[in-house]
Chain A
Amino acid sequence: METLVGQEAINPLLLYLGCGLGAVGVIVAMPRRGLSLALFGLLIGALGVGLLALGLGIHAGGDGLPNPAFYVFGAIALASALRMITHPRPVYAALYFILTVIASSGLYLLLSAEFMAFALIIIYAGAILITYLFVIMLATQTPTEEEGDNLSDYDATAREPAIASAFGFVLVAVLTNMLTLGTPGLPAAVATGDDALIQLPERLQDGFAEAGLLSDGERLVIGETGRVVTNESGAVAVIAEGSERRYIERAEWPADLSPSNVERVGLNLLRDHPMTIEIAGVILLMAMLGATVLARKQVDLEEEAKAHQAKKLAETFEKGTPA
């Protein structure tokens, strides 16, 4: 595991300079009355982030050019995030956030988390952000004629941007301080995934069948835990109707047989964290109920009206459900 890629430490001065520039950029980009300096702030911020990226590039060292996709996605994510927090109009902010989410899912792809990448786009960009857009539209005052398209005051100005940015980037500088120490690079992945496969007997059977490793009527022997039965050397047991069980050695397995990311995540989720997924379900249910209760219109009934309603309900129940 100790596959250290970048050993030489980044210059702390570069780090702090980058953070400082980033902070200045954010402050400049914050919404304000009058002249909008968002683009200018974006540039300053980009300069700071570029310095950091340069540092990271040096830090990574190694052979050849750094992975360009990472820098592209990272730049998009950061730029849209900056625009999101600085854009005076909530709708635009939400749209920029969608861009951030998409860039993030690209980064997830780079990290071989394909399932999560798409889940992110579907859930965030598709569901949550749309909810946001709905609420933005619901909860915005209809502009009167004389106001025109003017922004409301709380959208047009930021609160204490300088202090907040300063604190925020101090935090960032502290969090990224580990750059000055040097940490290991990402390890190389191993292609084989046999041990995951023995937990997926159908997939293994199909793979073996395609590769012609199984004769007619033969099937894999499945143990009590749902895994394919193996011997000491890791070979899986195969048995035909009424015959002896035989073993297929690992070396004989087809080379392209490996579990997909979805399978791996699904296994991890349902095999290692079954309880948490139940809890998550309960939380979602509660959130749904809570949101319903909170957002419905409050109807204040008089005492008499309440009594009347109760009576009506009781009558309905007595009669039984109408056919």
Chain B
Amino acid sequence: MSDLLVTLGQAGYPEAMPSVTLDHYLVLSALMFGLGLIGFVTRRNLIIMFLCTELMFQAAGLALIAFGRYHLNFDGQTFVIFVLTIAAAEAAMALALVVLLFRRRESLDASAWTELKG
């Protein structure tokens, strides 16, 4: 079974890429994720905060595809499809919420909403 999988997985790849390791992609992914996280925390505009979450999705997608390539199967790519799905759904909902919130306060400042204050 595993033999079958190996051959199956390797079928789509033309050749090896000797000087790029999995680590390259993972480091890149980590940096993108970190930037998205920093952006989410530091920026006060609700829309940019959601953009930052999209950036984090990107980073996750990159890591997934790199892992898929590393393991020579297509589950990684399939998962990225779902990531895209969720990103789209999230964007739709979140942006609807942003519009709703903007109507309430006439502002996109996340700090304007502090009702959760203890």
**Interface positions of A (Cβ within 8 A of B):** 3, 5-6, 22, 26, 30, 49, 52, 56, 59-60, 62-67, 70, 74, 77-78, 81-82, 84-86, 90, 93-94, 97, 100-101, 104, 107-108, 110-113, 115-116, 119-120, 123-124, 127-128, 131-132, 135-136, 138-141, 152-155, 157-161, 164-165, 167-169, 171-172, 175-176, 178-179, 183-196, 258-261, 264-265, 267-269, 272-273, 276, 280, 283-284, 286-288, 290-292, 294-295
Contact of B65 among A5, A67, A111 (CB under 8 A): A111
* Majority secondary structure, A binding face: helix
Contact in complex: B47, A136 (CB < 8 Å): yes
Contacts of A30 in B (CB 8 A): 42
* Interchain nearest-CB distance for B117 vs A (Å): 16
- Decide if A110 touches B17 in the complex (CB within 8 Å): yes
25 contacts between A and B (CB under 8 A): A70-B24, A77-B32, A78-B32, A78-B35, A81-B36, A90-B45, A90-B48, A93-B48, A97-B54, A108-B65, A113-B80, A124-B54, A128-B87, A132-B51, A135-B99, A153-B109, A154-B107, A171-B37, A185-B17, A186-B16, A189-B13, A193-B12, A264-B74, A290-B96, A291-B96
Residues of B within 8 A of A94 (CB): 47, 51
Chain B residues with CB under 8 Å of chain A are 4, 6-8, 10-28, 30-39, 41-45, 47-48, 50-52, 54-55, 58, 61-62, 65-66, 68-70, 72-78, 80-82, 84-93, 95-100, 102, 106-111
B42 contacts A161, C-beta separation under 8 Å: yes
User: By the criterion CB–CB under 8 Å, are A128 and B88 in contact?
Assistant: yes
Whether the Cβ atoms of B93 and A110 lie closer than 8 Å is no
For the complex, give the distance between the alpha carbons of A18 and B94 in Å.
Answer: 34
Q: A154-B107, A164-B38 are in contact. Are A189 and B44 (CB under 8 A)?
A: no
Q: Verify A165–B108 contact, CB threshold 8 A.
A: no
Report the Cα distance A60→B37, complex, angstroms: 28
CB contacts (< 8 Å) of A111 on chain B: these are 25, 65-66, 68-69
Question: Known interface pairs A30-B42, A90-B48, A179-B27. Does A272 touch B84 (Cβ–Cβ under 8 Å)?
Answer: no
Task: Please determine whether A85 and B48 come into contact, CB atoms closer than 8 angstroms.
Answer: yes
Q: Chain A residues near B96 (CB, 8 Å)?
A: 290-292, 294-295
Chain B residue contacts of A101, Cβ below 8 A = 58
Inter-chain contact A269/B78, CB cutoff 8 Å? yes
Residues of chain B lying within 8 A (CB to CB) of residue A269:
78, 81
Query: Chain B residues with Cβ under 8 A from A186's Cβ?
Result: 16-17, 20-22, 69-70
B93 touches A291 (CB 8 A): yes
Q: How far is the CA of A86 from the CA of B48 in the complex (A)?
A: 10
Q: Tell me the bound Cα distance from A273 to B74 in angstroms.
A: 11
- Residue on B nearest A276 in the bound complex, by CB: B82
